[in-house]
Amino acid sequence: MSRVNETASMSLAPYAADPAHSRGRRYAEPAPAYRSEYQRDRDRIIHSAAFRRLEYKTQVFVNHEGDLFRTRLTHSLEVAQIARTVARALRLNEDLCEAICLAHDLGHTPFGHAGQDALNECMLDYGGFEHNFQSLRVVDELEDKYAAFAGLNLTFETREGILKHCSERRARELGDVGERFLQRQQPGLEAQLANVADEVAYNNHDVDDGLRARLISIEQLRELPLFRHHHDDVLVAYPHVMSKQQRHETVRRMINELVGDLVGNARARLEQLAPADAATVRMQAQPVIGFSEGVERDNLELKRFLREQLYKHHLVYRMTAKAKNVVRELFAVLFPDPRLMPPEFFDRARQLEQKQGDAGRARVVADYIAGMTDRYAIDEYERLFNPRRLR
């Protein structure tokens, strides 16, 4: 065990993921000299091409619609910040939490969930498409920076945390990281926390972006208890501030309430459970990290509101429909003629087709489309369908 891993283990709770007892990497490597194993994971993720591309991938609004709207990159940073706060309070492994949070959207398509839904439709006969699985595929296979192995060769704990959902069929194909789905076990606490932090970030920051875009209003949001009582507090404390400051003050108070409830509720559950180690947590029927009953109810109400009033807003729906058409038509033209893709993807498509038939070729086409940024997808669509565009 390296001295860095030993030092990192000293301040952790007994139920936290300990880098000194990691289940390791797919390909053995010497221990890092100045970082823990999970710090190395985080650093490899930050330096990956897939992470950089998140800057130009949609959260809700397509990237070119405005510079101030959140992207997959800013969202991932915000998720990591929330998760680290809670992890420190619970004495969990902050570095592992951060690594999972920064990697959780690496496999997301252009155009957000609209792109994912369209690509899944295209892939239904070839194994389907799901962005969590694609994120794992990115770190296990598609990143190609290292000479000694494919992917980033991350630790088991980071890889398992990236995979939130998994069918039984796919779990059997995935080996070690699929085990918990077959055994009906929970992931480690750091993975549980990353999942909830993701929800806290996107719900509240979509409120912020939706208000900025004027697709939802303060009056609508005041129907929600979680928003209303914090907005009332802001109006009393700062009656004359600008609407931008009013919006920010309200949203940050909402996040603070959710994070505080998450810490308090998780502490209570852990005290009651008194797990001796991380393995004990995995045997529980339900996740340990979660909100109290009342806050969970308010949070679900906020999610329902956003689904109906923001994500289904006619202007968002228009862009969603156009985005889906771009993805569908890209797949429709690339799948029968993979030579239209860059040479490295064409070569990979031929190789995988020899092993897996049409499903192998389709998977490489999905890899190519999923790796696109919003603007690259739009440009590629133009190049393929506009006879005046050659490059």
CATH value at residue 103: 1.10.3210.10
**Domain presence at residue 251:** yes
> 198-227 as b/e, with b when 16 or more CB fall inside 10 Å?
bbbbbbbbbbbbbbbbebbeeeebeebebb
| Number of compact structural domains in the chain | 1
**Domain presence at residue 267:** yes
Is pLDDT of 93 > 80?
Answer: yes
**Domain presence at residue 171:** yes
**Domain presence at residue 327:** no
Is pLDDT of 318 > 50?
Answer: yes
3-state secondary structure at position 221: helix
What pLDDT score was predicted for residue 65?
Answer: 47
What pLDDT score was predicted for residue 44?
Answer: 98
Task: Give the CA-trace dihedral at 221, 312, 320, 73, to 10 degrees.
Answer: 30
Give, as one character, the DSSP assignment of residue 71: B
What pLDDT score was predicted for residue 61?
Answer: 53
**Domain presence at residue 192:** yes
Domain membership of residue 15 as a residue range:
3-315
**Domain presence at residue 366:** no
Query: What is the CB neighbour count within 10 angstroms for residue 297?
Result: 13
**Domain presence at residue 32:** yes
Q: Calculate what percentage of the chain has a pLDDT beyond 70.
A: 94
Mean pLDDT (whole number) for 352-380: 96
251 close to 208: Cβ distance less than 8 angstroms: yes
Is pLDDT of 66 > 50?
Answer: no
Query: What is the CB neighbour count within 10 angstroms for residue 293?
Result: 8
328 close to 122: Cβ distance less than 8 angstroms: yes
**Domain presence at residue 337:** no
Report residue 3's pLDDT band, with 50, 70 and 90 as the boundaries. Answer: low
DSSP symbols for 58-70: BSSS-GGG-SSS-
Average pLDDT, the chain: 91
Is pLDDT of 239 > 60?
Answer: yes
Q: How far apart are CA 356 and CA 363, in angstroms?
A: 10
Strands (E) located in 180-336: none
Mean pLDDT (whole number) for 59-64: 53
3-state secondary structure at position 318: helix
Q: How far apart are CA 96 and CA 371, in angstroms?
A: 24
Q: How far apart are CA 276 and CA 13, in angstroms?
A: 9
